[in-house]
Chain A
Amino acid sequence: MSRKLLLSISFIVLLAVIAACQPAPTPGPTPTPQVAVTVVREVVEVTPTPGPVEGTILVDGSSTVAPITMAVAEEFQKLYPQVRVPVGISGTGGGFKKFCAGETDISNASRPIKKSEVEACAQNKMEYIELPVAFDGLAVMVNPANDFVTCLTVEELKKIWEPDAEGKITNWSQVRAGFPDRPLTLYGPGVDSGTFDYFTEAIVGKAQASRGDFLPSEDDNVLVQGIAGDPNALGFFGLAYYEENKDKLKLVAIDAGDGKCVYPTLETVVNGTYRPLSRPLFIYVNRARADEKDEIDLFVKYYLENAKTLVLDVGYIPLTDEIYSLAMQRYEKRIVGSVFKGGGPQVGVTLADLLKAEQ
């Protein structure tokens, strides 16, 4: 009896799942064409010329930049259904490894290419075009129950995060005279992330230089939970994650040393007043492939033309029109190499100046 019951239950589950799976393997007619059309109309202002281009564009790299490239790929594939744009996530460094080995066509990067990576690409005689696509602000956050911190100076952040602070700066009262006597717990992204590279470069002065006794996580949502649940917490991660968790976190303004406390917002990141924790995000394009393959050429142009709206959709901050057009010129002139000359993450440079200088 019970075996029969079990059998019939399992059979029902089987049927349900088979029924549920059915639509997936059979492509059939496009399910919601109206929606697709309206979205394309919203985003695309360039004259859509869906031609016979086809092919696959392999993109890999930073998890920070991936949502932007995924958004661009999503819209691009609606316009050119014959072109397939898969996006992988293996980190900025992992992405460059594959990119310089010629395994990918475009690499997402949350920091400029490093010297070692420049050399790896040079060894394979690989030329690449570096294109900025968006800004990302790094937000410094405390628990909402923390009522004494509203603004921290870069000096104070350095005092907290520098390697020498390990085991020594463990109390809020050590950060600034007047802060209460409460333990200080630190949260940050994992040491392999571009975000960690950039933060340490901007605050401590040297990429990767940091104390080791903080709670790291590769998953920013874990950091959100950590800071939201710990009244003594201080942590940092990408602005997009703060925007989605405003009610659980308290944003800290940053004073770059001029006495002005600035919160990261769309305006302050774009106009450069939120210093030094705003950074540009990049894509790197394999030059030879862009020359050879029309679909890659079209994709890169589409990327730069539409990044402005798509970047906002996924919670990042668009570059200025000027920088987008400078980037477009850079791409069209096929200016290869990095404006940062392999220096890795750099702080306090304006992209517009760098790009203009080489035009």
Chain B
Amino acid sequence: MTTDDGRRTTDHRPQTTNYGRQAVRAGWGVAPTFEPNLPRRKVMGMVWEGVALLAILLGIAMLLTLLVKVFVDGLPYLRPQLFTEFPSRFPDKAGLRSALQGSIWLMVMTALLSFPLGVGAGIYLEEFAPKNALTRFIEINVANLAGVPSIIYGLLGLGLFVRGLGLGRSLLAGVLTMTLVILPIIIVSTREALRAVPASIREAALALGASRWEMVRDHVLVYSMGGILTGMILALSRAIGETAPLITIGALTYIAFDLRGPLDIFTVLPIQIFNWVSMPQEAFHRLAAAGIIVLLALLLTMNALAIWLRNRLQKRW
């Protein structure tokens, strides 16, 4: 090896390199004329630290610009009417009552439906399923489904729920479609939460004569509930911002009446915001900003809920 190569090799080593080590290395015959060049390496370190800092600052600056713009535009419109009034052609009277109802109903029903399905599937795959080619195939597909664009689910929902089951453009069709969107995410996160429970716990339960289901119910599930709920609420946070699949299944744009039930037609916050953004009048754009703040608040609340639940339910083994 040449001197040059030798120096490059030593450059990879941690900075603790000192002359003593170098002497040892010289003894190996790797780098007979090693120069530490400490000042240059320190400069390089600082340069890279700067580049990394710039990368994070750029992201934060973008986010701040966005937030500041949204808040400056939207705050004047963040008033009680925004929550109590229906959309209107006059921005001063317009609110997102129907959209907020739609979003909250959609979230609650999607949560009720996707929790048992997603967690159940996760538990089966992780704790009960035999490890064979079929389950491996299912596992790979579930993981892939988590990355499928949501509009594809919208098309599926349109064919299956809206037309196939004859649910029409109802909230229920929206709930079922949204459940499909987030199920893979819930399954994957449930499995990760279950996997985090050490095997010794399972073995201890089984050794004391618990059946497999008792072991899962009384031990594994209890210890992993914090993680499962976190994944669940993060999945719901994704669902609340989704527009594409709901537009595909025919969620409406203008609704000026209260939601009556799961089979009623509906709209959601992102659709209302999108509609306001595309209006010609500047005032509607500000109204849209106010809508974005409400959506953000809802999202942050759900995330806060996730953190709170995790801290509350997390049990140590």
Chain A residues close to B by CB (< 8 Å): 3, 6-7, 9-11, 13-14, 16-18, 20-25, 27, 31-32, 35, 56, 58, 60, 63, 66-67, 70-71, 73-74, 77, 84-90, 98, 219-221, 238, 240-241, 243-245, 310, 313-315
Contact = CB atoms under 8 A, between A and B. Distances in A.
A132 to B, nearest CB: 20
Nearest to A239: B280
B254 A73 contact: yes
Contacts of B267: 86
B277 interface: yes
Interface of B: 80-81, 83-90, 93, 97, 100-101, 104, 169, 250-258, 265, 267, 275, 277-282, 285, 294, 297-298, 300-301, 303-305, 307-308, 311
A77 B100 contact: no
Given A27-B258, A31-B84, A84-B257, A17 B89 contact: no
A183 B89 CA distance: 40
A189 to B, nearest CB: 12
A13 B256 contact: no
A95 to B, nearest CB: 11
Given A16-B297, A88-B250, A31 B85 contact: yes
Contact of A74 (B88, B253, B258): B88
A219 B89 contact: no
B269 to A, nearest CB: 11
> Which applies to chain A's interface (DSSP): helix, strand, loop or mixed?
helix
A240 B275 CA distance: 15
30 contacts: A10-B300, A10-B303, A11-B304, A13-B301, A16-B297, A17-B297, A20-B297, A21-B100, A22-B83, A23-B83, A24-B83, A24-B104, A31-B80, A31-B85, A32-B93, A58-B265, A66-B253, A66-B254, A67-B89, A73-B254, A74-B256, A86-B255, A86-B256, A86-B265, A87-B252, A88-B253, A88-B254, A220-B280, A241-B280, A244-B280
Contacts of B305: 10, 14
A23 B254 contact: no
A312 to B, nearest CB: 11
A71 to B, nearest CB: 4
A24 B280 contact: no
A87 B253 contact: yes
A243 B280 contact: yes
Nearest to B294: A20
A121 to B, nearest CB: 19
A15 to B, nearest CB: 9
A88 B83 CA distance: 21
Contacts of A84: 256-257
A13 B252 CA distance: 30
Given A220-B278, A244-B280, A244-B281, A3 B311 contact: yes
A243 B89 CA distance: 16
B284 to A, nearest CB: 10
Contacts of A244: 280-282
A86 B254 CA distance: 6
Contacts of B304: 9-11, 13-14
A39 to B, nearest CB: 8
Nearest to B85: A31
A6 B254 contact: no
Nearest to A98: B250
B249 to A, nearest CB: 11
B104 A14 contact: no
